[in-house]
Structure 1
């Protein structure tokens, strides 16, 4: 990082790292002023530390620290810190799937306020990224750094073996499933790791622009709507035909299937190309290609934002704002992070670099970054709700009831909606 935005993208890969507190510019002494502190999670913390290495040159009077915790631990700690106003950092890194919970509360600073002036920068980012960071009042409360334009990864060799073409996968979600049946029959490979991934993207792709995935602009739950029914029906068809391998992303059996050519497709953010090339399945180099998602669905799989706690130390807020601007709007830093950490830049100026025109060896020399750039600029705004993660868990549980116990789809969705509405009204 669940739905496409809640997948915690490449940060899950760093889950083995424990929480650490690192001083970026020297040891801490009790008599010194408190340092400017950035709270982050693995891989994002590396980007922050790289920036802070040069911070002392332009701000020799300011000490800095990066507090790094595992992905879930970080967001849990930040939830506690914002609610209690205790141990607040000066800058918080937030993953997209948690943004709704934080932005819809009152714990984050209004960056649209005159003291910060974030509105003047909204045109420098891909539109969906900055608009996603607005609260109920329309104020920007976080600045986007990186995004994960989604695409369909597929094994070109397996498609050829099955007598299929890319268009057979992308024409529609129904044709994608039908192609999966032919792939399984001709090659023995599964279409996808787990049907939840298919359900997630169909639900998200059908969300009207500017509305929430689970709740519309009037606050009405949409879990019984046609897009959820379609997603559940196709997921059920995939499971009944044995087209999903029933393996969880990032687990050893999933990685092993990718290595052995047992999974024909993968739907994920652009960063997945780097992860497969570097550690998941490097032996499959040249066999993969990418395409836009079926039906030209455009979405982002995760992303990183930076925010300032409303109750953090007032005397350091302007320094924190300056640091956020460097993290999010420095073109060269954005490109460096993309090259080293697969952090696709939300900054439009960084997307015009020649690096985007270079072939990607792992993808058989395909100019995939151009495809991801096109997707990034077409991704619609989907509003995040404070109960986003809870709703996702409830819907996944009901999908299991349909697939494992034969529960009727209509009843499953009605039950999920009732539970989400009850939780939202508490």
Structure 2
């Protein structure tokens, strides 16, 4: 009987040990040799971010997290995201990058996103520029849809050869002093036209955008009322006056002719150019190194571009997702993004980094690019864009191009644009 009892006891112990061993093996490995506790996060991005390198760094330091990057074209990514959250039946990523012009649209569907305030957003808010933080925040400050990534503070790129041909200064400090107001910009344009026959800018949209982006109110107020007659009409009139006097060219942004003109030296300045335009000019005009420089834009900087990282409600891992995006948007990683891909940081602590401030660019006559854009970033005003911003922007852009390309009457084009805008807003 004793032998039988001992046999039963040993059998039970053996079975228990085997079961524990099997459980441990099951918990500790899967078919890929990883852990069943590994959290997988799908991360949707667009543009040249350099995030793939930072993701690898994060996964190396956090082996329990696997991040799958899905990179696509900006509009496609936004459309796919909106479709996914609207359907409510899956398909949205754990983390989605949203561009500034689209933030208000997704704020309208904030119930489909986690409120980052609940995960510690307020603890990291001091990392960022106030105006950038406010762009992804509800009016009462209770809901934060995303953490800021890069920004696009605006400056004025200029061709030193064209300026010199016109008998004007080419030193960046002297250029900024010469063109210190939009009235001075207009007078300089007349000088350039007279001396060289060239316009001061080839793009009416860039001139208009530069003035618009310096305003505290642009297309809508915070009640989403259209206010363009009281805000941007003056900028429109200024631009169309310069078009009619032959001081501004006819090229449309992003068209082949616009890119070609960068290489040809057919105009003098590119106003409203943000940090990410540095690489764009190099790509379109690689043989013009030393013929470009960068100065302050007249009357203060605006902002063109930049994004936020959000966490859709369909994610099963909001805590892990927030931990990752708070790491990715921290000053240390934003500095790395700048070094890798030229994304300009929204974290002002970086602006005090000596290595950062020492950044120069030989292509732009060794301009201290980081310092110039950092100074611009700190003068940007907080602006409410509104969910229908793109509707207004598209129609006003069409009006400007009709004046420039077809010689259309500016007032008739303005009235027609306003009519098209109101018609579309009524259908929203």
Q: Could you say which TM-score interval applies, normalised by the shorter chain?
A: 0.7 to 0.9
Contact 2:117 2:144 in 1 (8 A): yes
Deviation (angstroms), 1:125: 0.8
| Among candidates 295, 299, 304, match of residue 301 of structure 1 | 304
SS in 1 for 2:155: strand
CA–CA distance in structure 2, aligned partners of residues 220 and 123 of structure 1: 31
Structure 1 residues 422 and 250, CA, compared in 2 at 3 Å: closer, same or farther?
closer
- Long gaps (5+) in structure 1: 1-25
Shift of 1:90: 0.3
Q: Say whether the 8 Å CA contact 1:155–1:265 is kept in structure 2.
A: yes
Matched, 1:266 2:270: yes
Aligned match for 1:76, one of 76, 79, 101: 79
SS for the counterpart of 2:117 is: coil
**In structure 1, what is the equivalent of residue 107 of structure 2?**
103
Matches within 5 A, 1:312-331: 312-314=314-316, 316-329=317-330, 331=331
- Is 1:336 aligned to residue 336 of structure 2? yes
Structure 2 counterparts to residues 7-406 of structure 1, below 5 A: 35-44=40-49, 46-47=50-51, 49-85=52-88, 86-106=90-110, 107-113=112-118, 116-138=119-141, 139-165=143-169, 166-167=175-176, 170-205=179-214, 207-208=215-216, 211=217, 213-225=218-230, 227-267=231-271, 268-277=273-282, 279-296=283-300, 298-309=301-312, 311-314=313-316, 316-329=317-330, 331-354=331-354, 355-400=356-401, 402-403=403-404, 404=406, 406=408
Query: 3-state SS of the aligned residue for 1:275?
Result: helix
- CA deviation string 1:329-363 (max 9, x = no partner): 1x332222112211011112222222212332222
- Following the alignment from structure 1 to structure 2, what is the Cα–Cα distance between the partners of residues 332 and 347? 9
Q: Is the 8 A contact 1:104 1:135 kept in 2?
A: no
The size of the alignment, in residue pairs, is 385
Contact 1:271 1:342 in 2 (8 A): yes
TM-score of the aligned structures, taking structure 2 as reference length? 0.82
Q: Please tell me whether the aligned partners of residues 168 and 179 of structure 1 are also in contact (alpha carbons under 8 angstroms).
A: no
Aligned with 1:55: secondary structure? helix
Write the deviation string for residues 182-202 of structure 1: whole angstroms up to 9, x where unpaired.
212322333212212111221
Q: Deviations over 1:211-256 (max 9, x none)?
A: 4x2112343321111x423222222222212233322334332232
Give the CA deviation at 1:328: 0.2
Alignment RMSD: 2.6
**Contact 1:152/1:266 (<8 A) preserved:** yes
Cα deviation, residue 287, structure 1:
2.2
Report if aligned partners of 1:168, 1:175 keep a CA contact under 8 Å in 2. Answer: no
Paired residue secondary structure (1:119): helix
SS of residue in 2 equivalent to 1:88 = coil
| Cα separation, 1, equivalents of 2:284 and 2:403 | 31
Can you list the C-alpha shifts for 1:349-401, whole angstroms capped at 9, x where unaligned? Answer: 22222221233222212223212111111111111211011111122233345
Q: TM (normalized to structure 1)?
A: 0.82
- Check conservation: 2:208, 2:236, Cα contact below 8 A: yes
Q: What SS does the corresponding residue of 1:283 show, helix, strand or coil?
A: helix
- In structure 2, stretches of 5+ residues that fail to align are 1-30, 170-174
Query: Is this contact kept in 2: 1:189–1:261, CA < 8 A?
Result: no
Please give the secondary structure, in 2, of the residue aligned with 1:393. helix
